[in-house]
Amino acid sequence: MKIQETEILLREMFAIDGRMLDAERIKAWHNVIGSMPLEIAQRALRLARQDERIGYVEPKHIIGKAKESADALDREERIKNAQQAKEFQQGFPQPTCIHGELLLSCNPCCHRMHLEHEAHKAKELNSELCLKYAKENIYG
């Protein structure tokens, strides 16, 4: 964490307990917790505030809650990635053509679809016409 980020953390902390913020305190805190990423430190601060046994937050409390904080952030990231992967996997499978290949892998079928599309180009483009043609002539 940069010293400016340490100041952000301390401003958040001191806003609740009324401590005065000055350059010496920022540097002292930074010397102790400066190796920790800001996001982990902020979550650790919130966890320390929620702990009824901690009345006055000190650097040791932030350090003590850092592992729990990092684990929670990792869990959230894994859940987010799993949801994105699930959304990505949902969809429709690629149909096969009359040759038994995946439609987009078959050059003759792709060419036929292109020619059909070009034939309708003069008219208003209509995906329903292309789909109807593909179902009747291309899909296996």
Ramachandran class of 63: left when φ > 0, alpha when ψ lies in -120 to 50, beta otherwise: alpha
pLDDT digits (tens, 9 = 90+) for 68-105: 999 999 999 998 888 777 766 666 678 888 888 888 88
Predicted confidence at residue 124, as pLDDT, reads 58
Output DSSP code: residue 124. Answer: -
- In the predicted structure, residue 122 carries a pLDDT above the cut 60: no
Ramachandran class of 91: left when φ > 0, alpha when ψ lies in -120 to 50, beta otherwise: left
* 100 touches 138 (CB < 8 A): no
Output DSSP code: residue 10. Answer: H
pLDDT digits (tens, 9 = 90+) for 36-55: 999 999 999 999 999 999 98
- In the predicted structure, residue 5 carries a pLDDT above the cut 70: yes
